[in-house]
């Protein structure tokens, strides 16, 4: 790591000046997010380029003291570069002065080591040299993996210094198994970005053979005609035992690198994971504490699959018909309108979608079936309200609710509106994707 400091004589003079004044300035510290900038670079040329891709971490403050602040520095600026080729990193630390003003001096090197571990190199020269020495890092570590699926993407997915035609961009998903040295090597280089970009993430035990990594790679040909692999994203999946002689897959981590997000790669990876679950006939496929954005992608993927799943179309049509039969507000009993257990079991067996996830998709399927939905909005909101209230009652033992009944009702109405808005968003995305798969042009 590069580090600039003032001469010792200058520091001594400042200490003497403070002693003559008779009191010291309280050190308010600086939040890590306010003095650290992280760049993702793919070449030596991008190192000093102003257009280099900036990474925006979830919460850097977690790695610095209990209050998330850095103490003991004036004019602190930390610039970190991460290679998108081999995921080595280098940090340049610059500051005007350093002194203990009552709260100590934060050990910056130790804090950065906590995040970047073995990928953090000591010098700029060493970091830049990695672009030459470790150019085959990804290809070497996935060479023993199983290629599961190829796909040509129309979107331009090249790094900023490349000009490859988007039509020539091929992507493949490779499966690596835990307990393998190559798997551990690749994962150890990817985990720093996972910690920075995925809220609440923690490293998995890659020595456990029940863990599997699914790596999304961009396959390109360089100017010398050599095939190169670049990591676009990855997922970590654990294979659990399910009584009596079955297994189930649980997705623990998934990350698409920032330059490639919102281009369909996360959806592609999720589709591959479902292909694996179906091909190997596991009990079901689950997700460990999904984040909101991922849950939207997941529900889009699953709803799209359910729209093409014939065994449930009749029960969806029946539920939609009930909502079209007059206003539910005028009826003495408002039904919850849940799918029959037989449909839940069919979906689990054939599509590997578990019950909880199917219920999320079920609401979207009904919304799509009500087209034009405006005419039946009141009935649909009533059904969603029933679902939210039922979920709230089931969670009342673990979730603290406001004692005031009026406040409770306000909270519930807010939850209902948020859920309806999310269902509408997902339904719109799914409808567009469904029409595209059928060959219908959509603006």
Q: Please state the pTM of the whole predicted model.
A: 0.86
Which tokens in the block code for residue 441? 């042009």
Q: What is the pLDDT of residue 302?
A: 98
Residues 20 and 68 in one domain: yes
Residues 280 and 142 in one domain: yes
Cβ–Cβ contacts within 10 Å for residue 237, how many? 24
Q: What is the pLDDT of residue 167?
A: 45
Which of 289, 310, 336 lies at the terminal end of a domain, its last residue?
289
Residue 379, in any domain of the structure: yes
Residue 294, in any domain of the structure: no
Residue 224, in any domain of the structure: yes
User: Alpha helices of 69-210 — where are they, by DSSP H?
Assistant: 108-116, 124-133, 137-142, 181-197
Q: Would you say residue 133 has pLDDT above 70?
A: yes
Tell me whether residue 288 is one of the annotated catalytic residues: yes
- Span 194-204, pLDDT tens digits: 999 998 899 99
Between residues 238 and 227, which one has the greater pLDDT? 238
Residue 295, in any domain of the structure: no
Name the band, by pLDDT with cuts 50, 70 and 90, for residue 226: confident
- Span 151-178, pLDDT tens digits: 888 755 444 444 444 445 799 999 999 9
Distance from chain centroid for Cα 177:
21
Residues 26 and 104 in one domain: yes
Q: What is the pLDDT of residue 334?
A: 62
Number of structural domains (the chain) is 3
Q: Would you say residue 48 has pLDDT above 80?
A: yes
Residues 38 and 62 in one domain: yes
Distance from chain centroid for Cα 320:
34
Lowest-pLDDT range of 22-26, 265-269, 293-297: 22-26
Residues 117 and 178 in one domain: no
Which tokens in the block code for residue 242? 């399910």
Residues 283 and 371 in one domain: no
In three-state form (DSSP H/G/I as H, E/B as E, the rest C), the secondary structure along 251-296 is: EEEEEECHHHCCCCHHHHHHHHHHHHHHHCCCCCEEECCCCHHHHH
Which of 262, 289, 316 lies at the terminal end of a domain, its last residue?
289
Which of 235, 257, 289 lies at the terminal end of a domain, its last residue?
289
Query: Burial code of 360-373, b = ≥16 C-beta within 10 A, e = fewer?
Result: bbbbbbbbbbbeeb
Residues 76 and 186 in one domain: no
Q: What is the pLDDT of residue 396?
A: 62
DSSP secondary structure, 82-104, as one string: EETTT--EEEEEE-SEE--SSS-
Residues 179 and 280 in one domain: yes
Q: What is the pLDDT of residue 2?
A: 54
Residue 141, in any domain of the structure: yes
Q: What is the CA radius of gyration of the chain?
A: 27
Q: What is the mean pLDDT of residues 69-80?
A: 95
Q: Would you say residue 261 has pLDDT above 90?
A: yes
Residues 377, 427 contacting (CB under 8 angstroms): no
Name the band, by pLDDT with cuts 50, 70 and 90, for residue 325: confident
- Span 212-224, pLDDT tens digits: 999 999 988 777 7
Residues 86 and 169 in one domain: no
Name the band, by pLDDT with cuts 50, 70 and 90, for residue 369: very high
Q: What phi and psi values does residue 401 have, to the nearest 5 degrees?
A: -110, 155
Residues 326, 332 contacting (CB under 8 angstroms): no
Structural domain harbouring 225:
136-289
Q: Would you say residue 389 has pLDDT above 90?
A: no
For residue 247, the domain's CATH number is: 3.40.630.30
Considering the candidates 144, 288, 394, 410, report the single residue annotated as catalytic.
288
Q: What is the pLDDT of residue 371?
A: 86
Residue 296, in any domain of the structure: no
Residues 278 and 341 in one domain: no
Q: What is the pLDDT of residue 223?
A: 74
Residue 370, in any domain of the structure: yes
The secondary element (H helix, E strand) that includes residue 334 is: none
Residues 169 and 28 in one domain: no
Residues 334, 383 contacting (CB under 8 angstroms): yes
Q: What is the pLDDT of residue 19?
A: 47
Return d(Cα 370, Cα 78) in angstroms, integer: 54
Residue 442, in any domain of the structure: no
Return d(Cα 190, Cα 203) in angstroms, integer: 10
Task: Give me the torsion for CA of 285, 290, 292, 296, rounded to 10°.
Answer: -10
Residues 283 and 423 in one domain: no
- Span 394-416, pLDDT tens digits: 766 555 655 666 777 888 889 99
Instruction: Work out the mean pLDDT of the chain and round it to a whole number.
Output: 87
Name the band, by pLDDT with cuts 50, 70 and 90, for residue 390: confident
Which residues are registered as beta bridge partners of 61?
none
For residue 28, the domain's CATH number is: 3.90.360.10
């Amino acid at each position: 790591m590069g580090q600039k400091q003032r001469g010792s004589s200058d520091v001594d003079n400042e200490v003497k000046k403070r002693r003559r004044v008779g009191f010291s300035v309280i050190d308010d510290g600086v939040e890590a997010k306010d003095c650290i900038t992280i760049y993702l670079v793919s070449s030596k040329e991008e190192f000093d380029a102003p257009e280099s891709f900036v990474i925006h971490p979830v919460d850097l403050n977690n790695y610095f003291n209990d209050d998330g602040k850095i103490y003991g520095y004036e004019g602190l600026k930390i610039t970190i570069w991460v290679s998108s080729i081999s995921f080595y990193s280098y940090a340049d630390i610059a500051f005007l002065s350093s002194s203990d003003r009552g709260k100590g001096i934060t050990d910056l090197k130790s804090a950065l080591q906590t995040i970047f571990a073995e990928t953090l190199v000591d010098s700029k020269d060493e970091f830049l040299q990695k672009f030459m020495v470790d150019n085959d890092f990804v290809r070497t570590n996935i060479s023993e993996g199983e290629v599961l699926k190829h796909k040509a993407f129309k979107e331009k997915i090249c790094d900023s210094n490349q000009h490859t035609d988007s039509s020539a961009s091929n992507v493949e998903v490779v499966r690596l198994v835990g307990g393998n040295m190559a798997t551990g090597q690749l994962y150890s280089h990817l985990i720093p970005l996972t910690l920075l970009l995925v809220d609440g993430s923690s490293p998995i035990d890659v020595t456990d053979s029940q863990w599997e990594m699914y790596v999304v790679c961009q396959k390109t040909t360089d100017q010398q005609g050599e095939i190169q692999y670049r990591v676009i994203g990855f997922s970590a999946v654990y294979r659990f035992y399910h009584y009596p002689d079955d297994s189930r897959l649980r997705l623990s981590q998934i990350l698409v690198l920032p330059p490639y997000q919102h281009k369909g790669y996360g959806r592609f990876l999720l589709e591959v994971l479902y292909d694996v679950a179906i091909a190997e006939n596991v009990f079901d496929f689950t997700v460990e504490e999904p984040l909101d954005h991922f849950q939207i992608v997941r529900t889009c993927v699953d709803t799209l699959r359910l729209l093409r799943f014939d065994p449930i179309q009749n029960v969806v049509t029946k539920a939609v018909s009930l909502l079209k039969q007059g206003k539910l507000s005028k009826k003495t009993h408002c039904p919850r309108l849940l799918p029959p257990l037989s449909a839940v079991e069919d979906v689990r067996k054939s599509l590997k979608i578990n019950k909880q996830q199917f219920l999320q998709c079920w609401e979207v399927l009904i919304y799509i079936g009500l087209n034009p939905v405006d005419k039946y909005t009141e009935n649909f909101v009533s059904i969603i309200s029933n679902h939210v209230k039922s979920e709230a009652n089931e969670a009342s033992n673990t979730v603290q609710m406001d004692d005031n009944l009026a406040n409770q009702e306000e909270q519930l109405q807010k939850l209902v509106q948020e859920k309806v808005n999310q269902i509408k968003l997902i339904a719109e995305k799914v409808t567009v994707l469904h029409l595209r798969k059928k060959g219908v042009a959509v603006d």
